[in-house]
Amino acid sequence: MHILIIGAGGMIGRKLAAELSRTASLGDRKIDRMTLADVTKPPVPTGDIGFVEAIAADISAPGAAQDLAARRADVIFHLAAIVSGEAERDFEKGYRINMDGTRALFEAIRLEGTRRKYIPRLVFTSSVAVYGAPLPDPIPDDYILAPLTSYGTQKAISELLLADYSRRGFLDGVGIRLPTIVIRPGTPNAAASGFFSGILREPLAGQRSVLPVKETVKHWLASPRSAVAFLIHAAMLDTSALGARRTLNMPGVAATVSDQIAALRRVAGAEAEALIDRTPDEAIEAIIAGWPKSFTPRLATSLGFVAESTVDELIAVYLADDAPKTIP
């Protein structure tokens, strides 16, 4: 089978490509070809897949989505997106990448299918940012989408497009609303949620980190390892269980910032906590205030999606998978 990962240069995309290269299979189907695409040519992981191609492609650019659809991959992972903070700062860029690019991809797949039958499985990464305050805590699976950010709006629109293109039989879509990913390896990104990783990652490495919100802030978290597992599981899912709603809330850990700091202290001591600088940022506080705190993802859980249950587990996954080797 042929796998296409769009957004393969990002952290989750690289990890997904590495895992699929390692197993060279999706369930009981052998992967014999994989195409990795991003705005700049993504890295190619080592593994047992016979043919892996990395290409530079911006799905919002004229003709790019058509070129990708013409490759007729059996499974497409659509991870490409401008992150929340950047989408809020640059309105036009956010809509061009997150909404127009997604629509262009879906439409290119539809048109490819008019030439010769083509109905790929498409796994789309959405976000809990599709919900906006006031919100129940926890949020049930059937709660209304009412985003309060441009990023959340772009993701919500894309979810509706995914459902409609699936309903019409142009593609077989599964959307997954990812929790905020913690702990992200590497350096901070432009996401408003980046501090959720930063207040753990930097102190674990003996570096200072900024906390821009109150310690009472509660949010929904999962590890990069779980995110990759969600994507792979979604690619193999029997979509008849989804009905008309094609996007699922993923399981995760409901934790306050205080819970995160307490877990950091348990793992690395009071000296690590002392590296957190509490510096309020009204812009970030305003964005985060409208985000969900926790979920009851009953449908996803019943379909076999699994995540961590404590912040301690999130830290343990980071230390095992991604932490610099200098961290004990």
Please identify every residue annotated as catalytic: 151
Copy the structure tokens of residue 278.
């509490």
> In the Cβ-directed half-sphere of 20, how many Cα atoms lie within 13 Å?
35
Residues whose CB falls within 8 Å of the CB of residue 35, separated by 6 or more in sequence, listed in order:
2, 3, 4, 5, 52, 53, 54, 55, 68, 71, 73
The CA angle 181-74-321, to the nearest 5 degrees, is 30
List C-alpha distances in Å: 302 to 2, 125, 211, 237, 306. Answer: 28, 19, 36, 12, 10
Q: What is the DSSP string of 164-216?
A: HHHHTTS-EEEEEEEPEESSPPSS--S-TTTHHHHHHHHHHTT--EEE-S-TT
Q: How far apart are CA 193 and CA 287, in angstroms?
A: 9
- Residue owning tokens 């699976």: 141
284-315 burial: b if 16+ Cβ within 10 Å, else e: beebbebbbbbbebebbbebebebbeebbbbb
Q: Is the peptide bond before 183 cis (omega within 30 degrees of 0)?
A: yes
Is there a contact between 255 and 292 (Cβ–Cβ < 8 Å)? no
Residues whose CB falls within 8 Å of the CB of residue 290, separated by 6 or more in sequence, listed in order:
132, 133, 148, 149
**Listed residue (236, 222, 117, 225) closest to 177, CA to CA:** 222
Is there a contact between 29 and 1 (Cβ–Cβ < 8 Å)? yes
Please give the sequence-ordered ranges of beta strands (E in DSSP) within 128-171, or none if there are none: 139-140
